[in-house]
Amino acid sequence: MTTREDGYFLYHSIGQYPGKEAGLSAAMAELAAVWSAPNDQQWPYLLGKRGEFIDYWRAIIDAPAGSATTCENVTQGVDMVMRALPDGLLRGRKVLVAADCFPSNHFLLTRLQERLGFELVTVRARQGANFVADEDMIAEWDRDVALCLITWVSSTTSRRSDLETLVDHGRSMGSIIGVDITQAAGLLPYSVEAPNVDFVVSTSLKWMCGTPGAGILYVHPDLIRDCRPELCGWFSQDNPFNWDIDAFEYASDIRRFDNGTPSIMPSAASVPALKWHASADRESILRSNRHLCGILIDGADDLGLKLLTPRSEEDRGGSLMFGLASPEQAVQVLNHLRGAGFSADTRGATLRLSPGIQTSEEATREVVVELGKALAG
């Protein structure tokens, strides 16, 4: 089976860009050479790569210096913030989340409610709806909500939340507001200041085309000052080389969320992708995505496929989700597409297609044809 480079529709998952293998290989070879050299120059190089990774991400989300750091993944980033909040801030109050959040976050919040003493309120989709509506989130969002974790774009429907409306309401309720931007970061423009939020988490996968283990955590400077992370270590200090065990003090900025020796390889491995992204024409990439999504929607309509994603561009991310008759049919359709050289995936009875920088119009039109064959077969 030959996999088509221009038939890649997995930007909701891993993400590819031209020259990715060469860039990643060169970065790892350079790291291997530095780390294996018989000298003492390893740490300046590695910490420099981590700093480069953070700076690229700060530019992507419009974050000021001293407000962003690395984490392993989105789930860990959320956990880091919630455990660092002032004692009693969450206890006896509510944490609000939509049912179509990234499931890993919900697994975490379910356990944390026992540890931190809050009530987890999960807003469900209305009967017959594919996603949780903003107005239903707002209806559950009262002054007892200490914290709300908003999913910017859903991984199950690609539905895009109205952040301005949600954040404006959350501010009037006095809640801490976090946003998981994973499913749209790198494709849709985003700023931590518009609207102003308290913390943001993302991975470097998907539209960012980086590697696993390279998460990013932003915390608003005002909130940083109130946080005391449970997990701390020598990198949590202004001076990591303070060895006085009786004189620990948290760093004044985001570094207080660091702990022991940081995991640098995922950051270093993702720098080539972030560098590519910084030099790419992001407006052109988004226009192409919208054009190719239009072709897919029209083709799916002709085939009678159920679109689970909002039709309006303003209400969705860069992915399209289609409902098939059953999980078994979804597997059959996916196997057919793979046999024709296309890369996509399924979740239960849902087929997910996400055209990106490498996806061509020709391949997009052909994948519709192959979808028709698979459904007919």
pLDDT recorded at residue 370: 98
User: Both ends of the chain: CA-CA distance in Å?
Assistant: 20
- Residue 1 has a pLDDT of 63
Q: How far apart are CA 70 and CA 245, in angstroms?
A: 25
What's residue 119's pLDDT? 98
Q: Specify the pLDDT at position 2.
A: 81
**CA nearest to 278, candidates 52, 50, 71:** 52
Q: Give residue 195's pLDDT.
A: 97
Query: What type of residue sits at position 56?
Result: Y
Residues of the chain with pLDDT under 70: 1
85: which DSSP letter?
Answer: S
User: Using CA atoms, how far apart are residues 340 and 350, in angstroms rounded to an integer?
Assistant: 19
184 alpha-carbon distance from chain centroid:
7
- pTM of the predicted model, to two decimals? 0.96
